[in-house]
């Protein structure tokens, strides 16, 4: 498991514990970016592929590689860029591989929510009810738009949807994006640098309604507030893809889809 730090969303004030994703160096040793404790997080409002990577040196062999810059998707729809200590430095994912002081648990522990201060939760996801236990999802690092589509397809298959395939893009009458189809599911992947709009969500929902299948939306840049609200009304699951290729549910229908599976 990678390093963890407490994070507060500047948009809604929600508090999270962020755990850095661990990657595998060519030598086989685990590596992860070194997180900057106490540094402010930044909402991602515009993306550039060149700015989405951080250089990390492996503590075991000294090799430097580019890995996705850490990000966290908040349930409010904001995508938060997690600060790292400095590009070009190492963060050993396994404490036994490098000497150094252990992190103080008090620095990284996330306090439990106080209902008197934070109010009741807006949504309580269903308990995990998948017919059979699923293994851990194995993400695909996203470096291109095609990688984003492939990561979404892998995730849908992991959820239990079979024979998910890419069906094309740029069809007349549909919003910009790339469709994935499979028995019982239709999904759209938005790999652009702008938050997905309510119109995109509505168009996807209508296509799913016509086909009598579940509609699922994946976005790299998150969702506009109107899109979040409309998706909740239409029960469209929304996921945000980070550059490690791990989809994160950002609304109640998505939580329930992850819990129940296909």
Structure confidence by residue, pLDDT tens digits, 196-246: 999 999 999 998 888 889 999 999 999 999 999 999 999 999 999 988 888
Model confidence over 63-105: pLDDT tens digits?
Answer: 887 777 788 888 777 888 888 876 443 444 433 333 333 333 3
What CATH number did the domain enclosing 159 receive? 3.40.1350
pLDDT of residue 2: 61
Domain span at residue 67 reads: 4-95
Q: Is residue 240 part of a domain?
A: yes
Residue 184 lies in a domain: yes
Predicted pLDDT at 97: 35
What pLDDT is stored for residue 229 in this prediction? 93
Whether 229 is in a domain gets the answer yes
Averaged pLDDT for residues 11-17? 85
Q: Is residue 246 part of a domain?
A: yes
The Cα 159–Cα 101 span in angstroms is: 39
pLDDT for position 47: 65
Mean pLDDT of 165-170: 69
**Whether residues 149 and 91 fall in one domain:** no
Mark whether 75 and 170 lie in a shared domain: no
Percent of the chain with pLDDT strictly greater than 70: 74
Same domain, 91 and 149: no
Q: Does a structural domain hold residue 114? A: no
Q: What is the mean pLDDT of residues 240-253?
A: 90
- Evaluate if residue 6 carries a pLDDT over 70: yes
Give domain status of residue 52, yes or no.
yes
pLDDT reported for residue 134 = 67
Residue 46 scores a pLDDT above 60 = yes
119-153, pLDDT tens digit by residue? 544 444 444 444 456 678 888 889 888 899 999 99
Output the pLDDT for position 123: 47
Residue 163 predicted with pLDDT over 70: yes
Q: Looking at the structure, do residues 66 and 156 belong to the same domain, yes or no?
A: no
Q: Confirm whether 225 is domain-assigned.
A: yes
Query: So what's the pLDDT on residue 53?
Result: 76
Q: Which of the listed residues 55, 73, 95 is the one where a domain comes to its end?
A: 95
Q: Does 101 map to a domain?
A: no
Whether residues 195 and 256 share a domain: the answer is: yes
pLDDT (0 to 100) of residue 106: 35
pLDDT at 259 over 60: yes
> How many domains would you assign to the chain?
2
Both 163 and 245 in a single domain?
yes
Instruction: Please state, rounded to an integer, the average pLDDT across all residues of the chain.
Output: 76
């Amino acid at each position: 498991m990678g390093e963890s730090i407490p994070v507060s969303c500047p948009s809604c004030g929600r508090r999270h514990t962020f755990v850095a994703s661990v990657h595998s160096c060519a030598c086989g040793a685990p590596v992860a970016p070194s997180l900057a404790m106490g540094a402010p997080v930044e909402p991602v409002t515009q993306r550039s592929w060149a700015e989405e990577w951080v250089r990390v040196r492996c503590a075991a062999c000294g090799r430097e590689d580019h890995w996705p810059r850490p990000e966290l998707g908040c349930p409010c729809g904001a995508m938060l860029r997690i600060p790292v200590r400095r590009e070009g430095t190492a963060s050993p994912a396994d404490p036994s591989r490098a000497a150094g002081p252990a992190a103080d648990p008090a620095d990284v522990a996330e306090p439990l929510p106080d209902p008197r201060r934070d109010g009741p939760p807006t949504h309580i996801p269903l308990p995990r009810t998948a017919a059979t236990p699923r293994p851990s999802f194995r993400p695909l690092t996203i470096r291109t738009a095609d990688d984003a589509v492939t990561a979404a397809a892998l995730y849908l298959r992991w959820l239990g949807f079979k024979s998910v395939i890419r069906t094309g893009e740029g069809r007349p009458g549909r919003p910009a994006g790339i469709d994935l189809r499979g028995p019982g599911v239709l999904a759209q992947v938005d790999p652009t640098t702008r938050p997905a709009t309510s119109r995109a969500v509505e168009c996807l929902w209508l296509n799913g309604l016509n086909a009598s299948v579940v509609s699922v939306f994946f976005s790299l840049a998150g969702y506009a507030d109107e899109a979040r609200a409309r998706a909740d009304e239409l029960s469209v699951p929304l996921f945000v893809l980070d550059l490690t290729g791990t989809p994160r549910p950002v609304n109640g229908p998505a939580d329930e889809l992850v819990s129940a599976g296909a």
